[in-house]
Amino acid sequence: MRIQPRRQILDIWRSVIRASFKDGKWIWGGRDEPNSISDAEQVLCLLYPATELANLALDRPDAMADDVAAALEPLGGPATVPQRVIDVLTEYIERYTDDQGEPTFAGGSYLRLGENDGPDAAGSVRVTEEQRRLGVVDSYSMSVTLCLATLGFLSVFRPLARRPALVQKIEQLEQAVNDRLTAAMVGLLRSFVVNTVLPSDPERAVMLRMVNQTRAPEQVVLANLRTRLTRVRARLRDDVRLGIDVEVGLAEEERLFECGWGWGIVRNSAQLTIDLEQTGFSTQPKICFEAGVADPRPYLYSTVVALDGINDLRSTRTRELGLLNDDQRRLSEALQLRWDMTQRYWSIIARFGDSTWPLEDIPWQTSDGEESDYYSLLVSSVLVQDMENREATDDDLNRAVAVFESLAQRGRITRRVMVNDVAVNLHVPGVQMRLGGTADLGPQLFWRVADFAPLLLKRTLQAARLSGNVGAREELMRLAEATMDHLSRRRISYGDGEGLWDDPGEVLFPNEDRKPMDLPSWYLTERVVEGLVAAARTFDEAPVRSTAVINRAQELLHEADHLLNREMLQDADVDDGSARRDELTSIEATLARARRILIQQPGTANALAMDALRRLDEMAVAHLDATRGI
C-alpha cells in the first residue's frame, strides 16, 4: 500500500483519543500495566508528530490545520487542544516523580520473567518491588524524546498564553520537564559501557567469528581490527570521562572491545554531579550516585534506543529553539561523544573486511552467544544512522538494500507464514533478552522486544532518504510499502484500541483461531508513528536526481529552444495580442520553468520540455497547413 504519513498519522490520532480520552479525563494504560515507558509512548503518539512535522503542529492554535483540528475535536477546539496537552504532560510528570521530588524511570510491567517461569502475578515466582523500580535505558531515552518534544511545544505556545494561571502552570511544567531531562541524560551517561575482552574469554571467539568472514588467519584479523578501530579506542580511552570507569583495559591493545549501552545503569558506572543552580533539585539526585545493577556489557537493543534519544538532542530543532541549559549542553556533549564513537564502532564492525560484510551473515551473533535476525536489524539500524552522518556510497546502500530485503523475507514481512513458523517469534512474543544483574535482587528478569516490523519500516525509509541511486531508492520504498501493508493488516479492528496496534492474528497466525485483541500496545503503536514520521521526512526531501534524465532534459530543452526561436523569427510581424503570439509566450515561460528546476527535478523538466515540443510541433503543422492552403 502507498504510505501516506499525514493521513495515517491523523487516523492514529483519532484512535489514540478514542482510546485515551473519556469523560474529559486522560486514561493511562493499554495492553500493559502503566509504567514510565508505556505512558511516555502513549503521549508521544500525539506529541512526537506534532513537534517533528510543522504541518501537524499543535502549538499555534490560530495556525492549526483544519484536518488536524477535526482529528483532535474530542479534545476541544484549536485553542483548547494545547491546554489539554499541557494537562496530560503535567499528569505524566506527577505520576513519575517520587515523594522527594525526583524523577523515576522504572521499567515496571515491561520487566518480565522468562517464558517458562510462569506469570509474575500468580505462582511462586514473582518480580520483586525492588526489581520493578529499576531504571532502564528505554525509559531514559524515551524521556529525553518526550522532554524535548514538550519543551519545544511549550517554547512556542508560552508567548500565546494569556491567563496568569496557565502561564504559571507552563512555568512549573517547564522546570519539572527540565529536571526530568537532566536526570534522563545522567541515566544515559551512567548506562554507557565499554566492555573489553581478554584473550582467554569465550566472548573473544564469538566476536572474531562474526568479523572474520573470509576465515583469514586470526593474527591478520586482529591486526586489521586494531588498525580500523585505533581512533575509536583512543577517543574512548582519552576523552570519555563522565559516568564511566575509564580503567577498563583499553590501553591493552591485545584486548578486543565493544561499546554501547547496557540495559540500565551498569555496575562499574562512576558517579557524577550536576549543576544544581540550573535545576529544581536541592541536592544531587539519586540517579547521579546510586549503584548500578546491569551487567557492564552493551546490549544492541539498548544501544539503538539510546542512539535514537541522543539523535533528538542533536537535532536542528533542539538547537534552534535553545531547549538545553548550560549544564544540559555539557551532558549533551558527553552523550554526543559516546554517540559518535558507538556509531563508528558498530559501523566498522558491521562492514569489516574486503568481501562479505559481517552484517550480511544473517543472523547476527552477539558477544554472549545469542543470535537472532532481530539483532541483524539492530546492527543495520546503527549502520543507517552512521550513513546519515557520513557520505554513504552506492555500494553501501545497495548492500544495505539486500540486507533489508533478506530480513523482510526471514521475518515473514514479504513471505507468507508457514505452519509452526519459528519466524513468527520475532513478532509474537518477540525476542527475549536476559537482563544480567537482576538475579541479584530476585528472580532472573528479561526484556521482550517485538518491534521488528515497525523498526524495519523506519530504517528502510531512512535509508531511502539517503540514497542517491534511483534503483536502490525504489527497492527501499517498495520494501517500506510492503512493511506498511503488513502492519496495516495488524491494526486492531474493534473495541477501545480500534485503529491502533497490535492484533497479529490474521497475518501471523492464519492457521489458528485466536481471540482478537482489543487493547492497544503503546509500545508498538508509538514505533509505527516513528516510522510514519520518518516517511514524512523522506517524502519532504527533493527527489533523487538521475544524471541520465538531466542529460536527456538538456537535450530536449536545446531542441525546444531552437524550434521556439525559429517560430518567433517567422512571427516577427504578428501582433502582440494574437493567439499565436500568446501561445509562443506561454511556451517560452514553460521552457524557462524547466530550466529553473532542471537540477532539482530533472524528470519534471523533461516532461515540461516534451510538452513544449509537442505544442511547437502543433504550431509548425498548423503553419504548414496554412501555407499549403494559400
| Contact of 154 with 170, CB cutoff 8 Å | yes
| Contact of 367 with 195, CB cutoff 8 Å | yes
What confidence score (pLDDT) does residue 422 get?
A: 94
What confidence score (pLDDT) does residue 553 get?
A: 87
What confidence score (pLDDT) does residue 240 get?
A: 72
pLDDT tier, 392 (very low <50, low <70, confident <90, very high otherwise): low
Preceding peptide of 429 cis, ω within 30°: yes
Q: Where are the beta strands (DSSP E) in 524-593?
A: none
Helix (H) or strand (E) holding 621: helix 602-629
Q: Which of 374, 381, 433 is nearest to 408 (CA)?
A: 374
Could you give the angle at the alpha carbon of 342 between the alpha carbons of 340 and 348, nearest 5°?
Answer: 100
Please, what is the average pLDDT of the chain? Answer: 91
The SS3 assignment for 215 reads: coil
Q: What is the pLDDT of residues 57-96, one digit of tens each?
A: 999 999 999 999 999 999 999 999 999 999 999 999 999 9
State yes or no: pLDDT of 522 exceeds 50. Answer: yes
CA distance 358 to 373: 13
Q: Which of 266-270, 310-314, 405-409 has the lowest mean pLDDT?
A: 266-270
Going from N- to C-terminal start, the domains of the chain cover 1-95, 127-350, 360-488, 547-629
What confidence score (pLDDT) does residue 247 get?
A: 57
Could you give the angle at the alpha carbon of 332 between the alpha carbons of 331 and 338, nearest 5°?
Answer: 95
CA distance 463 to 401: 8
pLDDT tier, 450 (very low <50, low <70, confident <90, very high otherwise): very high
| Contact of 414 with 408, CB cutoff 8 Å | yes
| Contact of 464 with 473, CB cutoff 8 Å | yes
pTM of this prediction? Answer: 0.88
What confidence score (pLDDT) does residue 385 get?
A: 86
Angle of helix 81-95 versus helix 36-52 axis, rounded to 10: 150
Q: Which of 408-417, 491-500, 551-560, 569-578 has the lowest mean pLDDT?
A: 569-578
pLDDT tier, 601 (very low <50, low <70, confident <90, very high otherwise): confident
State yes or no: pLDDT of 625 exceeds 80. Answer: no
What's CA 425's distance to the chain center, in Å?
23
282: DSSP letter: S
State yes or no: pLDDT of 571 exceeds 70. Answer: no
| Contact of 114 with 432, CB cutoff 8 Å | yes
CA distance 207 to 474: 34
What confidence score (pLDDT) does residue 252 get?
A: 83
The number of C-alpha atoms within 13 Å of 579 and in the hemisphere containing its C-beta is: 2
What confidence score (pLDDT) does residue 220 get?
A: 93
Q: Which of 74-78, 80-84, 233-237, 530-534 has the lowest mean pLDDT?
A: 233-237
| Contact of 267 with 295, CB cutoff 8 Å | yes
pLDDT tier, 473 (very low <50, low <70, confident <90, very high otherwise): confident
Residues in the chain: 630
The amino acid occupying position 297 is: R
Sign of CA dihedral 137, 143, 146, 149: negative
Section 342-352 average pLDDT? 95
Q: Which of 233, 152, 137 is nearest to 186 (CA)?
A: 137
